[in-house]
Amino acid sequence: MHIHFEQQSQFAIKKIWGEPKQDISAICYDSRKVSAGSVFICISGENHDGHMYIDQAIQKGASVIAGDNPDKLQAGFDHNPGTLFILTEDARSFLAHLSIFYFEHVHEKLHTVGITGTNGKTTVASYVQSLMNNLGRNSGYLGTNGMFSSKGRISFSQTTPTTPESLDLHSIFQELYKQGDQVAAMEVTSVALEQKRVEGIEFDIAVHTSLTPEHLEFHHTFENYKNAKMKLFRQSKKAVVNVDDKGMADDILDSFKGPILTYSLNKAANADVTANNIKISAAGTAFELIVGGESYIASTPIFGEYNIANLLAAICTALHSGYSMQEILPALGSIESPEGRLEVLAFGERKIILDYAHTPPALKNLIKEVKKMPHRRLIVLITGIGIRDREKMPKMAQAIEGEADEIVVSVDHPGFNDPNEIISHVIAGFNKPLAGNIHRAPTRHEGVLSALSLSDKDDLIVLTSGCINGAQLVKGEKIPHSDKDIIQEYFERKEAVSNLDFVHV
């Protein structure tokens, strides 16, 4: 692609060293992926500064270097005068706008739905994708569970836990468009908004689910966290708001200028879309769906009242997208739930629930719902997440104390932290930390095995937090991990042992 960099005002270029007209073959923010004709953008992260890899990028064939550190760029040009160097106001912003330009604004050819919130992002995004597909409008999903088109999983190596970096994001949009998708339902995190991964996108619809303290290791204050999430609604045409949430619903309602649809589980809230008389059965959930004063009977194969709230968010999205209730209602009967969200596995006379609940409110809501299921004893695994803020760790203990017969405390993604120190920080939240039903497990693998070994027939085992990430982050490395594989191997060994023929001599 030929680019005259000086003619693109959206790049916010402050200074150029070298020839501004260039033919580029690729965009990279990882110097290891640079090839001949690439633009290498120097992104500063928590552990690395891209400006330190300028020489490596040039050796691999980069023809353009862009960044926001004038001294390092000047020094780079002095040593490599044949290379174009660009000083921009913000390297991440430059990456976002260059990616949009490079992929020819492909996001504008899709109906984009951005979902933000402390809890519920993955489920709402998955429900939106499923509902849109059921309505005959091919939809993709981008988020914690991976990247999917309407045809299945897209092969993509995630460098971020949820919302991709802007370059990767627009590459995925292009792939969705090539595969014939019309809708992109994606999770948008507060960190992604602060790091400008979605800058330059005007979302067709922004969805708000909830707001409780999270990611304070990054944002430092709750107010900063909320302000980050509010950015999504300043770059969206329409909004969907959960009026049951006290964290930021009022802020959106007060400031958003476009069309808004609200949803609630409280009939008295006077929301646009409400669920009432919720009845849970073995097949799923039936409820009265009230939309604009009209009442309908809805039935869906999902479980948990909070998931009905998440479904209401998807219904609002469909209404904003031009669909009628006559079209939406039958489509609710085949909604697909995401992996690892109140996912029930049955092994003999035991049921195991995988759920990503990793905040105190989410844990409380989850336990409230699973207690409605028949069981003898309840065994719950909770974790401290080493790469997240420490303030919430003891609150996880407070949320589960007195609610389960056995509690296993373990760690997810310890990073460079001592797992035992993280576990101790969680356990400090218990009123009775030395209680006999509280157990420690220094790795998630051991935590899963501990929870399983404590169980017997008719027990319900709940494994919370990072059960669907596919890896544990340990000292900068991604260690492959699967709760399902551990569970399967545990019961296969148990079955093998029970079938042994013992010979007495």
pLDDT in tens, 240-255: 999 999 999 999 999 9
Which amino acid, one-letter code, is at 86? I
Helix axes of 305-320 and 360-370: crossing angle, nearest 10 degrees: 110
- Span 291-345, pLDDT tens digits: 999 999 999 999 889 999 999 999 999 999 999 999 999 999 999 988 888 888 8
Q: How many whole angstroms separate alpha carbon 140 and alpha carbon 181?
A: 7
- Report whether pLDDT(171) > 60: yes
Distance, CA of 50 to CA of 232 (rounded, Å): 27
Nearest to 66 by CA among 84, 41, 48: 41
Cβ proximity of 148 and 141 under 8 Å:
yes
CATH number at residue 32: 3.40.1390.10
| Confidence at residue 340, expressed as pLDDT on a 0 to 100 scale | 82
Residue 505 has pLDDT above 50, yes or no: no
> Does residue 502 belong to any structural domain of this protein?
no
Task: Return all residues near 250 (Cβ < 8 A) that are at least 6 apart.
Answer: none
> Whole-number mean pLDDT of the chain?
93
Query: Residue 88 carries which side chain, given as an amino acid letter?
Result: T
Q: Which tops the pLDDT comparison, 56 or 343?
A: 56
The verdict on 80 and 132 lying in the same domain is no
Final residue of a domain: which of 280, 310, 334? 334
pLDDT, residue 23, reads: 96
pLDDT in tens, 65-96: 999 999 999 999 999 999 999 999 999 999 99
Q: Are 80 and 111 in the same domain?
A: no
At residue 214, does pLDDT exceed 80? no
* 130 and 256 together in one domain: yes
CA-closest candidate to residue 27, choices 19, 35, 18: 35
Return the pLDDT at 46: 67
Question: Where is pLDDT greater, at 60 or 361?
Answer: 60
Q: Both tokens of residue 215?
A: 């990611």
Identify whether 461 is part of a domain.
Answer: yes
Token look-up 């968010």 returns: 313
Is 470 inside a domain boundary? Answer: yes
Distances (CA, A) of 454 to 400, 444, 451: 17, 15, 5
| Residue 73: both structure tokens together | 């760029």
371 and 458 co-located in one domain: yes
Q: Which residues pair with 84 in a beta bridge?
A: 64
Q: What pLDDT does residue 155 have?
A: 87
CB 301 within 8 A of CB 96: no
> Could you say which of 311, 334, 357 is where a domain stops?
334
Token pair 């646009």 is found at: 272
Given this model, what pLDDT does residue 73 score? 97
Based on the fold, state whether residues 310 and 373 are members of the same structural domain: no
Mean pLDDT along residues 101-127: 96
Mean pLDDT of 102-124: 96
Is the same domain home to 359 and 304? Answer: no
Q: Which band of pLDDT confidence, cut at 50, 70 and 90, is reported for residue 391?
A: confident
- For 225, phi then psi, to 5°, come to -60, -50
Q: Which residues contact 48 (CB under 8 A, 6 or more apart)?
A: none
How do residues 256-295 score in pLDDT, each as one tens digit? 999 999 999 999 999 999 999 999 887 889 999 999 999 9
Give the number of other CB atoms < 10 A from CB of residue 231. Answer: 19
CB 253 within 8 A of CB 260: yes
Q: Which two tokens stand for residue 420?
A: 């035992």
Distance CA 498, CA 345 (A): 21
Distances (CA, A) of 483 to 163, 441, 444: 23, 14, 9
Does residue 348 sit in the same domain as residue 410?
yes
161 in the same domain as 241: yes
The answer to whether residues 77 and 128 belong to one domain is no
- Residue where a domain stops, chosen among 101, 130, 163: 101
By percentage, how much of the chain surpasses pLDDT 90? Answer: 80
| CB count in 10 Å sphere of residue 438 | 19
pLDDT given at position 18: 96
Structure tokens at 108: 């504008």
Task: Assess whether 327 and 182 both reside in one domain.
Answer: yes
Structure tokens at 275: 């669920």
| Contact indicator for 337, 126 with CB cutoff of 8 Å | yes
Q: Is 26's pLDDT higher than 60?
A: yes
Looking up residue 148, the CATH number of its domain turns out to be 3.40.1190.10
pLDDT at position 456, please?
Answer: 93
The parent domain of residue 423 ranges over 343-496
Residue type present at position 352: I
Tell me whether residue 505 is in a domain: no
Run of H or E residues at 344: strand 343-347
pLDDT given at position 347: 87
User: Residue 318 domain-assigned?
Assistant: yes
Residues 96 and 108 occupy one common structural domain:
no
The H-or-E segment that residue 378 falls in is: strand 378-385
Domain for residue 304, yes or no? yes
pLDDT category at 31 given cuts 50, 70, 90 is very high
pLDDT of residue 468: 57
Q: Evaluate whether residue 84 is within a structural domain.
A: yes
Q: Indicate the pLDDT class of residue 503, thresholds 50, 70 and 90.
A: very low
Domain match, 86 and 109 both: no
What value does the mean pLDDT take over residues 375-392? 90
CATH of the domain at 413: 3.90.190.20
Q: Which residue type, as a one-letter code, is found at position 476? A: G
| Total domains present in the chain | 3
- DSSP bridge pairs for 208: 116
Classify residue 255: in a domain, yes or no.
yes
Note the pLDDT tens digit of each residue in 149-168.
Answer: 999 999 877 777 789 999 99
DSSP structural state of residue 82: T
Would you place residue 49 in the very low, low, confident or very high pLDDT band (cuts 50, 70, 90)? very high
**pLDDT at residue 497 above 70?**
no
